């Protein structure tokens, strides 16, 4: 038995933060951001008092409408996020409550920008062992809530959005999640983190004054790790399954930086038309970035298409999935 994605819903906030507007907030230019990162604009959830669960709830409602599945059939909801509504309770619980899902249990997963590949693997384990029948996997980020809009080295990168997927079992062993290679390395905690607000550095006037509740990143170190780890693990997945570039329908990489994506595709020997990208419109939405690509390009995929999904993120966390798409365009 394999676990397979049966449908995708999504929600992106309306507000578009362009490079032009960013250049009025920090010393930057559209040209620098496009050349060094590849982002033109990103979506921002502007309204006060709304968090990741707001977008996640709308994504789940979109999914349920699209698939026609009843919320009473859902037995588990997992939410991958680094920007939960609150440190507790879990955003998964809040989404269940807002949608009216009453028969499920669930929890949040924090795996940085690898949130989707880690949580799809987790969901697949529950499905493959028969412990759950219908899982909703939500990835959602309000990255703007932890982005320092006074720091030009990080603020052009990030955006907001949410995607929800229905994960079920299939007896057809030629589709679904075929394999995963996943890693963590705590060395990354010194290069990419949100220092304050947790149990080690609870909020104080000083942590607020020092702007320690925002993302800190040593961009060059993270870049070097991301380029080598994402490419290594994607090539390892190809070798493990004797996959040639011609066997792969699409690479769907985490959308952090166009240069990291290009380097990964090059190592895999893939031409540009096999690499799906929407970083220009949405920026880096952490664990939501691969799902946003799947959501936007859903109609491109045919049953049996071989996909490699690969990501790198805070932790460090990284890995690659070998996935065979489960349905024809609807």
What residues line the site for ligand COA (CB under 6 A)? 28, 32-33, 36-37, 113, 152-153, 156, 217, 219-220, 222-223, 226, 256-257, 260, 284, 312-313
User: Of 62, 96, 254, 257, which one is the catalytic site residue?
Assistant: 254
Of 79, 113, 155, 257, which one is the catalytic site residue? 113
Q: Which of 127, 135, 119 is nearest to 182 (CA)?
A: 119
- Residue nearest to ligand COA according to CB distances in the complex: 219
Does the annotation count 113 as an active-site position?
Answer: yes
Spatial distance between the Cα atoms of 46 and 145, rounded to a whole number of angstroms: 9
Task: Decide whether 126 or 318 has the Cβ nearer to ligand COA.
Answer: 318
Q: Minimum CB separation from ligand COA for residue 224, in Å?
A: 9
Instruction: For the CB of residue 235, give the shortest distance to ligand COA in the complex, in Å.
Output: 19
CB of 70 to ligand COA, least distance (A): 36
Q: How far is the CB of 31 from ligand COA (least distance, A)?
A: 9
Nearer to ligand COA by C-beta: 54 or 158? 158
Q: Which residue's CB is nearer to ligand COA, number 7 or number 156?
A: 156
Spot the catalytic one: 19, 62, 93, 284: 284
Q: Tell me how far apart the alpha carbons of residues 250 and 310 are, in angstroms, rounded to a whole number.
A: 11
Q: Based on CB atoms, which residue is closest to ligand COA, 37 or 44?
A: 37
Of the pair 134, 254, the CB lying nearest ligand COA is at 254
HEC string of the chain equals CEEEEEEEEEECCCEEEEHHHHCCCCCCCHHHHHHHCCCCEEEECCCCCCCHHHHHHHHHHHHHHHHCCCHHHCCEEEEECCCCCCCCCCHHHHHHHHHCCCCCEEEEECCHHHHHHHHHHHHHHHHHCCCCCEEEEEEEEEHHHCCCCCCCCCCCCECEEEEEEEEEEECCCCCEEEEEEEEECHHHHHCEEECCCCCCCCCCHHHHHCCCCCEEECHHHHHHHHHHHHHHHHHHHHHHCCCCHHHCCEEEECCCCHHHHHHHHHHHCCCHHHECCCHHHHCECHHHHHHHHHHHCHHHCCCCCEEEEEEEECCCEEEEEEEECCCCCC
Closest approach, Cβ 261 to ligand COA, in A, equals 10
Shortest separation between residue 249's beta carbon and ligand COA, angstroms:
24
Of 107 and 193, nearer to ligand COA (C-beta) is: 193
100 contacts 71 by C-beta, under 8 angstroms: yes
Tokens 């996909």, residue?
307
Which residues are annotated as catalytic?
113, 254, 284
């Amino acid at each position: 038995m394999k676990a397979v994605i049966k449908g995708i819903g999504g929600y992106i906030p309306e507000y578009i933060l362009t490079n032009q507007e960013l250049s009025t907030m920090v010393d930057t230019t559209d040209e620098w951001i496009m050349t060094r990162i590849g982002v033109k604009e990103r979506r921002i959830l502007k309204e006060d008092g709304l968090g990741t669960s707001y977008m996640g709830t709308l994504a789940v409602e979109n999914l349920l409408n699209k698939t026609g599945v009843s919320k009473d059939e859902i037995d588990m909801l997992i939410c991958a996020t680094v920007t939960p509504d609150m440190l507790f309770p879990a955003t998964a619980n809040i989404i269940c409550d807002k949608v009216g899902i009453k028969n499920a249990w669930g929890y949040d997963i924090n795996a940085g920008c690898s949130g989707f590949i880690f949580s799809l693997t987790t969901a697949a384990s529950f499905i493959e062992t028969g412990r759950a029948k219908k899982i909703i996997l939500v990835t959602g980020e309000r990255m703007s809530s932890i982005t320092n809009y006074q720091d030009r080295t990080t603020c052009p990168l990030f955006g907001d959005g949410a995607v929800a997927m229905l994960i079920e079992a299939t007896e057809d062993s030629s589709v679904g999640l075929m394999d995963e290679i996943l890693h963590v390395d705590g060395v990354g905690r010194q290069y990419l983190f949100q220092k304050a607000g947790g149990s080690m550095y609870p909020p104080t006037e000083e942590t607020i004054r020092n702007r320690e509740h925002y993302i800190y990143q040593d961009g060059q170190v993270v870049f070097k790790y991301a380029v080598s780890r994402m490419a290594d693990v994607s090539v390892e997945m190809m070798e493990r399954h004797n996959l040639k570039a011609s066997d792969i329908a699409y690479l769907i990489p985490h959308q952090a930086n166009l240069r990291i994506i290009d380097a990964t595709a090059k190592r895999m020997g893939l031409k540009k038309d096999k690499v799906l990208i929407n970083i220009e419109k949405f920026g880096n939405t952490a664990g939501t970035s691969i799902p946003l690509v799947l959501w936007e390009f859903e109609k491109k995929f045919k049953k049996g298409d071989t996909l490699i999904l690969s990501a790198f993120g805070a932790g460090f966390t990284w890995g690659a999935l070998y996935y065979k798409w489960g349905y024809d365009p609807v």
